[in-house]
Amino acid sequence: MISSMETSDINQFNFTYRRNLELNFRDFDSFQHVNNGVYFLWFENARVNLSMEVLQIFKASALPITMANIGCQFLCPIKIGDCVWIEAGISKVSEKSFELTYRVHEKLNGLCAVGTSIQVYFDHQTGRSSIFPTEVKNQLLHHSALKKRIK
């Protein structure tokens, strides 16, 4: 399981970030499919851009987080010439961490991949996770992607 939610629950989301993806020749493996590692680069770019554009965080020191976990469920291959986009949103917020959910779409085949990452609020001086300041947690909750509470 890659998420606290089932893949079918993804339709309950209001994703706050969306971008078209440019496919480069270097992204493809010998089978002419996008290499699995490329999806994680797409997730990283979405995570950084969501932080800047949605959360208005422009410096890494403004929100000291560390990646705790990341995963991807590959549903269909993406091939040369496909029209692809990514969506991302905050799917869960807790006292010390938040989860982002990503989905990658292809124009003809629909949903091709679903991923999640867990980011932990981290105190680099103590080397331990820390509780989010109230204003940061409230900002994360405000931009949470859930349309409705999922049990």
Model pLDDT for residues 94-135, shown as the tens digit of each residue: 999 999 999 999 999 999 999 999 999 998 889 999 999 898
Please report, to the nearest 10 degrees, the dihedral formed by the alpha carbons of residues 3, 125, 41, 99 taken in order.
Answer: 20
pTM of this structure = 0.86
How do residues 17-27 score in pLDDT, each as one tens digit?
999 999 999 99
> For tokens 């991923």, what's the residue?
115
> For tokens 């990283």, what's the residue?
44
pLDDT recorded at residue 150: 37
Give, for 134, the enclosing helix (H) or strand (E): helix 134-142
CATH architecture of residue range(s) 7-142: Roll (3.10)
Question: Average pLDDT for residues 65-91, to the nearest whole number?
Answer: 95
How do residues 40-63 score in pLDDT, each as one tens digit?
999 999 999 988 887 787 776 777
- C-alpha neighbours within 13 Å on the C-beta side of residue 117: 20
- The amino acid occupying position 57 is I
Structure tokens at 44: 């990283």
Domain boundaries, the chain: 7-142
Name 151's Cβ contacts closer than 8 Å, sequence gap at least 6. Answer: none
Name 92's Cβ contacts closer than 8 Å, sequence gap at least 6. Answer: 4, 98, 99, 144
